[in-house]
Amino acid sequence: MAATKRIGVLIMFFALAYYVDAISRTKPVASPDIYKGRNVAKDKIAPGEKIVNVLSFGAKPDGKFDCTQAFMDAWRATCKSNVQARLLIPQGRFVVSTMFFAGPCLTPGPITIQVVGTVVATTDISEYVNGEWLMFEDLDGVKLIGGGTFDGMGKESWATTENCEADQTDTCVRNPSSIYFHKVRNGIIQNIKSVNPKGFHFFVTNCANIRLRLLKLTAPATSPNTDGIHISNSIDVKLSKNTIETGDDCVSMIQGVNNITINKLKCGPGHGISIGSLGKYADEQEVKDIRVKNCTMVGTTNGLRIKTWPDKYPGSASAITFSDIVMENVKNPIIIDQEYDCEPANCQKKPSLVKIKDVVFSNIRGTTISPIAVDLRCSKQFPCQDVKLKNINLNLGPKPSGSRCTNIKPVYGGVQRPAACL
């Protein structure tokens, strides 16, 4: 399909999607969990549920035919159904360009998108005028399940990527995320694979009550900005039993994330679990109530990281717990870095204005490859408050590793390897 024609189709769909600026700061509102007490692992076709197969709308599973229009038509038939409905993507390879799965939908219950086969992204980056690949927006109740795969075909686009992570000015243009959830509440993404996204595997923003479970995300260790799950401005998000091997953070959480649980994540290669960078923009919402437990990090550059920018904006991160984490050959297993992208321990910039408070690292064990396994560098203007380290056992081969503390007085308990800061 010629690019001009495709853009025509997109604009047509725009009107239906009433697109909202991706960096909108409206805070999602908590509401009762509609899946509470239900077995979310089980997929049952409801009595009378309508099955909308993309093949019936002209999609071809040959890995060549452009199925974008077929997917859009099939989505509309699913979303506008006033009986329960599911969109089915069967076996095969379906090439799809950027598109919206926009709501609100008319189905009485959560809509199901069952992906059995592989959805393959187109490679011409100029088509991605809306910034992301598959955009789920304005939905209340959606399940993305089925064991299938999203292949972002990222390889070509990585060659022309800047490093957005350390971009001081935020002029860096991110590559499209594979799956973008925006203004979604009551969402489940479960038993789905993502390979080689152009940008993030999953991007969750302005969302409430989202579960991400049993996901397998893969990209080369060298692929740029391929965060596994990137979350901003969202509340009540639960990640469990995910396996992430990628080129950037396995999970990154920035401003406005509240009440997030990460359980049984296996991460590596990658840059670990990251809160931040924070304090990059004016008026950032606070980050609070984050629980990370029973995770394993293998060969990652960082393990558990909180990072904030010096010489920029205020912000806050509090009530954060990391517990029962195993590290294997991790470079910076425990790191608070309030001198992000500045020379460690000799940063000449104005101190960070982000307040870090009430952080617990407990039962963190395994091996590191760094002489500073516990690196806590806080802001001179706002020293870190109430940071506890309990039962830390990190070894650098046969030798002990070290700790560094600036503008922080950690509270220690139990075993401390490396030794506590004096």
Ligand X SMILES: *[C@@H]1O[C@H](CO)[C@@H](O)[C@H](O)[C@H]1NC(C)=O
Site of interaction with ligand X (CB under 6 A): 30, 33, 236, 238, 259, 294, 324, 363
CB count within 10 Å of CB 171 equals: 8
- At its nearest, how many Å lie between ligand X and the CB of residue 215? 16
Give 258 or 277: the residue with its C-beta nearer to ligand X.
258
- At its nearest, how many Å lie between ligand X and the CB of residue 343? 36
By beta carbon distance, the residue nearest ligand X is 324
Give 269 or 366: the residue with its C-beta nearer to ligand X.
366
Q: Are strands 399-400 and 385-396 parallel, antiparallel or unpaired?
A: antiparallel
Across 116-153, where does the E strand assignment appear? 118-121, 134-145, 149-151
Give 140 or 236: the residue with its C-beta nearer to ligand X.
236
The residues near 37 (Cβ < 8 Å, ≥ 6 apart) are none
Give 37 or 398: the residue with its C-beta nearer to ligand X.
37
Coil, strand, or helix at residue 113? strand
Query: For the chain, first and last CA: distance in Å?
Result: 65
- Is 271 one of the catalytic residues? yes
CA distance 233 to 203: 11
Largest distance between two CA atoms of the chain:
69
- At its nearest, how many Å lie between ligand X and the CB of residue 36? 7
The residues near 281 (Cβ < 8 Å, ≥ 6 apart) are 170, 255, 313
Q: How far is CA 76 from CA 44, 49, 70, 97, 103, in A?
A: 22, 16, 10, 16, 9
Coil, strand, or helix at residue 79? helix
CA distance 393 to 405: 17
CB count within 10 Å of CB 90 equals: 16
Give 111 or 188: the residue with its C-beta nearer to ligand X.
188
CA distance 303 to 288: 19
- At its nearest, how many Å lie between ligand X and the CB of residue 131? 27
Give 259 or 385: the residue with its C-beta nearer to ligand X.
259
- At its nearest, how many Å lie between ligand X and the CB of residue 25? 20
- At its nearest, how many Å lie between ligand X and the CB of residue 239? 10
Give 259 or 329: the residue with its C-beta nearer to ligand X.
259
CA distance 4 to 2: 6
Ramachandran category for residue 34: left, alpha or beta (phi over 0 → left; psi -120 to 50 → alpha): alpha
- At its nearest, how many Å lie between ligand X and the CB of residue 207? 12
- Burial (CB < 10 A; 0-12, 13-18, 19+), residue 29, is exposed
Q: Note whether 420 and 389 are within 8 A (CB).
A: yes
Residues paired with residue 225 on neighbouring β-strands, in sequence order: none
Give 293 or 380: the residue with its C-beta nearer to ligand X.
293
- At its nearest, how many Å lie between ligand X and the CB of residue 287? 14
Q: How far is CA 224 from CA 83, 154, 234, 265, 391, in A?
A: 43, 10, 24, 21, 34
Out of 182, 201, 230, 271, which one is annotated catalytic?
271
Active site residues: 271
